Structure 1
Amino acid sequence: MKTRIHAIAGTIGFLTILLFWTSTVLSELFASHATVATVKSAILMGMFVLIPAMAIVGGSGFSLAAGRNEALVSAKKKRMPIIGANGLLVLVPMAFFLESKAAAGQFDATFYSLQAVELLAGATNLVLMGLNMRDGIRLSGKAAPTTQVTLTSSETIATGTMAFHMTKPAGFQHQAGQWIRLTIADAAEDGKASSRILSIVSAPDEPQITVATRLSDSAFKRSLSTLTDGAELTIAGPSGTFTLHEDASRPAVFIAGGIGITPFMSMLRNVTATKAPHKIALFYSNRAPAGAPFLSELEELQKANSNFQLIATMTDLDAQDSWVGETSKIDQDMLQRHLKDLDAPIYYCVGPAGMVTATQKMLRAAGVAEQDIRVESFTGY
């Protein structure tokens, strides 16, 4: 929902500035002074639309970007303060001043000089906002090329969780940690999209594409869970930059909640297969072992990869559950028990939005630098 609000407010802001800019240029070139004054008055009234829209864009944008350090997100974060300063320090004051000058019929050198400044500032914001909208589309994966795949098999991998194996199209290459947008052509409808973003579980060198998801009562998830082998699906991607850092001298700490394990499975399979030297500790939180996707495979990966340490915790055990290990939520105390130095690693966190936000706050409170915290939130469980 936050992403949609951000996109809608950004579109409104962009189109409003574009309307202001084009109406100003056209009226100045081809209309009378009276029409220019009318345009200036309309622009001033339009600020009651533009200012709230831009405030929403800025607030939602920084909230969505929190903890994300990918190149596209970083570029958007750098542009946003410039857009805001341009609006507050140039465009808004100019709108009031030029409207008063036009209403008084004072079309003098000062008016036209400031008008040029306003047009330049408006053009700058249009360019920067256009770049942000372009990068937003890239981040959403909606601009990624699509291709047809075939479902080869599906399986239940934990309580309420299924994995789906698909043919890999010729030329399909992904980095461990990336995702695809999966579309079911004949999915049942409930007012929501017929596609979902799903992290790729399979390693880059595996012959098939595998994704996994928690099941829910949404029409898409119901349709997905009832697909039979041989079903034709559409995928877009791969997309995303939530990938393991290249500098193996810095250890990695993965923090996963539930189905948030999926991008980490691709990374762990890949580093184990390629014998990458990265030291990795995975803190993996679930309610109970039966609901923990890929838990058995993770235990096997720990045996096969001496650089990988698994710390699983079960936070809501029943009396019949057999579990020897951590049972509390992942917090600073747990990290300190298992890590030698909290400042050394780069941290990756994936899970429900609330869990991710709480983990970010915990890591900041522990003194971890913001640039060493990388996150992805999963919604719509």
Structure 2
Amino acid sequence: MPEFSLYRHLDEMAPWNDRLQVLEVIGVSDEAPQVKTFTFRSDAQTWFRYKPGQFITLELPVGDEPLMRTYTLSSSPSRPFSVAVTVKAQPGSVGTHWMFDNLAVGTRIRAFGPSGDFTHHNHPAARYLFVSAGSGITPMMSMLRWLNDCAPWTDVAFVNCARRPEEIIFRKELELLGSHMPGLSLGFLIEERSSRESWFGHMGRLDAVRLPLLSPDFHEREVFCCGPDPFMRAVHNMLEATGFDMAHYHQESFGAPPVETPPPAKAEAGAAQPAEATLPLRFASSDIDSHCVAGQTVLQAARASGVRIPAACEFGLCGTCRVRKVSGEVEMNHNGGILDEEIGEGYILACCSKPLTALEIEA
């Protein structure tokens, strides 16, 4: 039995801290074929503060080196005592299959976050259009659950695409929310019929003909899209072709943004090549003095020195590699994985920070 009381008021609890506490599994449920929801609470009875649509990074003890995997929260911050991720086991997905085989009630696991800016809170609007496919429904479900709890009158058109009827994730809950939220309109679109379940709804792939049938006024809505990359690309191109104002289009992606690499400068004949500059780098918690080669990130230097800094995306989005800078200056080019107030407190993202001076960090 836990030593603490099972019930405390929210104002008696502190927010969850990903550096001090881990997650404990309190529920595992099937959502669709090869899709499960894992629900967690804090092992220190803290509450979860995040925005609907954000994600966390789980540290999965798969092999000799932990596997870092990023999953969107399907839960809502309006219910702050637990968080949940809903994951689909794709062929070859090592981390998700490990979760299916090993996570059970009582299992404890490390996590980092929450992070991400794919949330309707950043883009308030009178009307929304949520477009999703497959497990891309998870951030939409987080946002819709929040709206149901806090603003149930909101006008939301929800379009979800799946291969077969039984593969529509959260279908029963969505239909229930449709009966409770007067402004919610649901549009399901499947690609093929199934012998397991009859279907009388829309069929085919989402295109410029079917979208107006599912959301006639989509031009007047703030659009959020999530799903496989080819799906999001198709939705983006389709909206753009209709003249939609793409400033009101938002999509979730964990892929690295394209980086333009400038061509190498040509050295003059006979010119001496400069020696590769290095800067001192100290890892305070590990008590290791090392160095960082010019152009190398703090994360790369840490790995070369045998210092482990957890990292998942490695392009400044997930925030997993956040460490505190004790002294020194860095050049940091992140993609939203760290808050301005965290930077003000001295934190950096090791994956996208390059030392400009001698540097000491807590790692």
**Could you tell me the TM-score, scaled by structure 1's length?**
0.57
Shift of 1:222: 2.1
Shift of 1:274: 1.0
Give the aligned partner of residue 255 of structure 1. 131
Give the aligned partner of residue 329 of structure 2. none
Q: Cα gap change, 1:289/1:242 in structure 2, threshold over 3 Å: closer, same or farther?
A: same
SS of the equivalent of 2:251 reads strand
Q: Cα gap change, 1:167/1:333 in structure 2, threshold over 3 Å: closer, same or farther?
A: same
Q: Report whether the alignment pairs 1:264 with 2:264.
A: no
Shift of 1:320: 4.7
Greater strand proportion? 2
1:244 and 1:353 mapped to 2: Cα distance?
Answer: 20
Q: Cα gap change, 1:222/1:338 in structure 2, threshold over 3 Å: closer, same or farther?
A: closer
1:378 and 1:214 mapped to 2: Cα distance?
Answer: 16
Q: Cα gap change, 1:163/1:287 in structure 2, threshold over 3 Å: closer, same or farther?
A: same
- For residue 182 of structure 2, the aligned residue among 286, 297, 306 is 306
SS of the equivalent of 1:343 reads helix
Shift of 1:311: 0.2
Give the aligned partner of residue 223 of structure 1. 98
1:162 and 1:234 mapped to 2: Cα distance?
Answer: 19
1:183-198 equivalent positions in 2, closer than 5 A: 183-184=59-60, 186-188=61-63, 194-198=67-71
Q: Report whether the alignment pairs 1:317 with 2:190.
A: no
1:282 and 1:256 mapped to 2: Cα distance?
Answer: 8
Q: Cα gap change, 1:248/1:306 in structure 2, threshold over 3 Å: closer, same or farther?
A: farther
- Structure 1, gaps ≥5 residues long: 1-143
1:177 and 1:218 mapped to 2: Cα distance?
Answer: 22
**Could you tell me the TM-score, scaled by structure 2's length?**
0.60
2:124 and 2:87 mapped to 1: Cα distance?
Answer: 30
Give the aligned partner of residue 35 of structure 2. 161
Q: Percent identity?
A: 25
**Could you tell me which amino acid in structure 2 is paired with residue 165 of structure 1?**
T
Note if contact 1:260-1:378 (Cα within 8 Å) is conserved in structure 2: no
Shift of 1:276: 4.7
Note if contact 1:251-1:280 (Cα within 8 Å) is conserved in structure 2: yes
Note if contact 1:252-1:345 (Cα within 8 Å) is conserved in structure 2: yes
**Could you tell me which amino acid in structure 1 is paired with residue 98 of structure 2?**
S
**Could you tell me which amino acid in structure 2 is paired with residue 200 of structure 1?**
L
Give the aligned partner of residue 121 of structure 1. none
SS of the equivalent of 1:368 reads coil
Shift of 1:290: 1.4
2:180 and 2:55 mapped to 1: Cα distance?
Answer: 26
1:102-251 equivalent positions in 2, closer than 5 A: 145=19, 147-168=21-42, 170-184=46-60, 186-188=61-63, 194-206=67-79, 207-216=81-90, 217-226=92-101, 227-245=103-121, 250-251=126-127
Q: Cα gap change, 1:332/1:172 in structure 2, threshold over 3 Å: closer, same or farther?
A: same
1:266 and 1:318 mapped to 2: Cα distance?
Answer: 28
**Could you tell me which amino acid in structure 2 is paired with residue 158 of structure 1?**
A
Q: Cα gap change, 1:249/1:360 in structure 2, threshold over 3 Å: closer, same or farther?
A: closer
Give the aligned partner of residue 168 of structure 2. 292
2:48 and 2:247 mapped to 1: Cα distance?
Answer: 31
Shift of 1:316: 1.9
Note if contact 2:125-2:222 (Cα within 8 Å) is conserved in structure 1: no
Note if contact 2:166-2:196 (Cα within 8 Å) is conserved in structure 1: no
Select the structure of larger CA radius of gyration.
1
Q: Cα gap change, 1:167/1:314 in structure 2, threshold over 3 Å: closer, same or farther?
A: same
Note if contact 1:288-1:314 (Cα within 8 Å) is conserved in structure 2: yes
Note if contact 1:157-1:163 (Cα within 8 Å) is conserved in structure 2: yes
1:270 and 1:344 mapped to 2: Cα distance?
Answer: 22
2:169 and 2:59 mapped to 1: Cα distance?
Answer: 23
Note if contact 2:152-2:182 (Cα within 8 Å) is conserved in structure 1: no
Greater helix proportion? 1
Q: Cα gap change, 1:335/1:219 in structure 2, threshold over 3 Å: closer, same or farther?
A: closer
Q: Cα gap change, 1:231/1:358 in structure 2, threshold over 3 Å: closer, same or farther?
A: same
Q: Cα gap change, 1:146/1:281 in structure 2, threshold over 3 Å: closer, same or farther?
A: farther
Give the aligned partner of residue 335 of structure 1. 211
Q: Report whether the alignment pairs 1:346 with 2:222.
A: yes
Note if contact 1:351-1:378 (Cα within 8 Å) is conserved in structure 2: no
Question: 1:254-280, CA deviations, whole angstroms, 9 ceiling, x for partnerless residues?
Answer: 100010000111111110111254311
1:273 and 1:171 mapped to 2: Cα distance?
Answer: 17
Note if contact 1:147-1:236 (Cα within 8 Å) is conserved in structure 2: no
- Structure 2, gaps ≥5 residues long: 1-17, 256-363
SS of the equivalent of 1:293 reads coil
SS of the equivalent of 1:241 reads coil
Note if contact 1:250-1:344 (Cα within 8 Å) is conserved in structure 2: no
2:189 and 2:254 mapped to 1: Cα distance?
Answer: 19
Note if contact 1:356-1:377 (Cα within 8 Å) is conserved in structure 2: no
Task: Provide the alpha-carbon RMSD of the alignment.
Answer: 2.3
